[in-house]
Amino acid sequence: MARVLEHLGKEFIEKKGFPIPNSGVAESPQEAEEIHRKLDDDVVIKALVPAGKRKKAGAIKFPEDPQETRSAAREILGMTVQEFPVEKVLIEERLEIKSELYLSIIYDKENRQPLVIASTEGGIDVEEMSSKYPERIKKAGVHPFRGLPDYRARELWSELGFSGELLRKLTHITVRLFEAFYEYDCTTLEINPLVVTEKEEVVGADCVMAADDLAMFRQKELSERVQVGSERIWRPLTELEKRVVEVNERDPYRGTARYIELEEGEVGFMCGGGGGSLVMFDTLINLGLSPSNYTEFGGNPPVRKVRGLAKAILSKDSVEGLLVCCNITNNTQVDNVAQGVKEALEEKELDPAEFPVMVRFAGVNDERGKEIFESAGIEYHGEDITMPRAGRLMKEKLEEFNRQEGEQ
C-alpha cells in the first residue's frame, strides 16, 4: 500500500470529476502567504503528512488573514507529526459548512470486492462513528468487474434519507469516486468530511488515498509521486528500508522482499512467508534474542533480489549474526536463496567461520541449496529440524561466538 498525500489524492479525484476546494501547496511561510492572497478568501492551512489526527496535533489551523497564514505556516513547517517531519503545507479555501458527511471506498478482503461506505456523520473517526452511530452508516459491496452503477449509489444515499437535487449530486460524486478508486488501483479512498455547503454544493474537504504497491508498475503518474513501501510503518522510511524498496522494484514481476528496520537487535532476520515470519519473530523474542529487523520474502525472488535484501539486513551495525528461515516453500527456489545469501556475505566480507549464520529453509531445489550453503561454510538444515529449533540453534551459535570472543 502506497500512501498518498492529501493534495495529490485530491488532484487525482478531481481529474475524475470529484469537486474539491481551491488550494495551493507551500514549502515556505512566504509561499503560504502568497497563496492566501491569490485565493482571496478565508483559508485553512494543513500539514501535508501521511498521518491522521493532524488537528489534534496542532497541524491544522484557521488563520484570519495572509499574515496569520505566514505565521501558521512557519509554526507547522517546523513540526513533526507522528514522526513525519512537515515539509509542505496545504493552503485551502475555507468552506461554508452546512453539514458533514462521510464517504469511503475500501477493498474488502473477506469478500474480495470493493466496499462503499457512506454516513451522515462526517468529520469524526470511522471507529467512533461505527460505535456511536451504527444506524447512520450504509455499505454496498461492488462487483469488481461491473463497477458501481448509478442506481446502487443512489440507493445508498437514499437509505440515509437524502432526496432531490442533493441526492443526485451525492450519487454523481460517489460514482466518480469509485472510478478513481478503480483507475488508480486504490486500497483505500476516503473523503472525511464530505462537506455540504450552505449553497448545497458537495465538496471533498479531506482525502485519504492509498494505492496497491504491487500495481505501481502500471501507475506511472502515481508511482513517481508517492512513497512506495511505507504501508506497514507509520513513520518515514529509513535509508535501509528505502534501499530494500529499490531492490524490490527492480524486478516487480517476480518475488517480493519486505524489510522493516528496528532500533536495535543482534539477529539479522531473513524469513520467507508472512505467517512463518511472524511465528519465527516471536520465537526469537521468547528465546531472549533481539531481531534487528522484521523481514518477509517469497514468490520466488531472483538471486539479485535475495542478495539485495540480505545485504540490507547485514548493513545494520548492531547485527551479530544472520538467521535465514522458511517452513517449506512451494515456489521459492532454495538454491536462489542460497546463492543470494552467499553473495551478500561475500560482498559484505563476512566469513561464516567468524560470523554466525544459521539456515533452516526447505522446499524447491533444497538439495542444490544445501550444497551452495555448505560450500560457503554455512550450517544448513531443511525438514530435519523445526523452525523453533533453528531459533534455538541460532541462540547457541551466538552464545558460542560471544564466548570465544571473550576468551581472546
Among the residue ranges 19-33, 43-57, 130-144, 230-244, the one predicted with the least confidence is 230-244
- The stretch 347-365 carries a mean pLDDT of 96
Residue 375 reports pLDDT greater than 70: yes
Residue 182 reports pLDDT greater than 60: yes
CA dist list (Å): 75 to 31, 86, 194: 14, 10, 27
Examine domains 22-93 and 97-224 and report if their fold is the same.
no
Instruction: List, for residues 68-92, the tens digit of each pLDDT value.
Output: 999 999 999 989 988 888 999 999 9
At 166, the amino acid letter reads: L
pLDDT at residue 192, rounded to an integer: 94
Residue 275 reports pLDDT greater than 90: no
pLDDT at residue 227, rounded to an integer: 62
pLDDT at residue 374, rounded to an integer: 97
pLDDT at residue 394, rounded to an integer: 96
CA dist list (Å): 15 to 9, 117, 177, 179, 337: 10, 22, 10, 10, 44
pLDDT at residue 223, rounded to an integer: 77
Whole-number Å distance between alpha carbons of 163 and 159 = 10
Tell me the CATH class for 22-93.
Answer: alpha beta
Residue 338 vs residue 135, higher pLDDT: 338
Instruction: List, for residues 295-337, the tens digit of each pLDDT value.
Output: 989 999 999 999 999 999 999 999 999 999 999 998 899 999 9
Residue 231 reports pLDDT greater than 60: no
pLDDT at residue 14, rounded to an integer: 97
CA dist list (Å): 82 to 54, 56, 58, 404: 9, 11, 12, 43
Share of the chain above pLDDT 90, in %: 74
Residue 176 reports pLDDT greater than 90: yes
Contact 114, 104 (CB under 8 A): no
Q: Where are the domains of the chain?
A: 22-93, 97-224, 239-407
- The stretch 17-37 carries a mean pLDDT of 97
Instruction: List, for residues 379-391, the tens digit of each pLDDT value.
Output: 999 999 999 999 9
Residue 407 reports pLDDT greater than 90: no
Residue 405 reports pLDDT greater than 80: no
pTM (2 decimals)?
0.73
pLDDT at residue 228, rounded to an integer: 58
Tell me the CATH class for 97-224.
Answer: alpha beta
Among the residue ranges 93-107, 156-170, 245-259, 345-359, the one predicted with the least confidence is 245-259
Residue 208 reports pLDDT greater than 80: yes
For residue 56, give the H/E element and its range: none
Whole-number Å distance between alpha carbons of 41 and 21 = 11
pLDDT at residue 128, rounded to an integer: 79
Among the residue ranges 38-42, 95-99, 247-251, 368-372, the one predicted with the least confidence is 247-251
SS3 call for 375: helix
Spatial neighbors of 371 by CB under 8 A, at least 6 apart, are none
**Omega into 193 within 30° of 0, i.e. cis?**
yes
Fold of domain 239-407: Rossmann fold (3.40.50)
- Using CA of residue 341, residue 346, residue 348, residue 353, what is the dihedral sign? positive
C-alpha 41: how far from chain center: 35
Residue 222 vs residue 352, higher pLDDT: 352
Give residue 229's pLDDT band: very low, low, confident or very high (50, 70, 90). low
pLDDT at residue 73, rounded to an integer: 96
pLDDT at residue 402, rounded to an integer: 86
Whole-number Å distance between alpha carbons of 277 and 269 = 9
Spatial neighbors of 98 by CB under 8 A, at least 6 apart, are 195, 196, 197, 198, 200
Whole-number Å distance between alpha carbons of 168 and 387 = 58
pLDDT at residue 276, rounded to an integer: 86
- The stretch 348-361 carries a mean pLDDT of 96
Instruction: List, for residues 30-59, the tens digit of each pLDDT value.
Output: 999 999 999 999 999 999 988 888 888 899
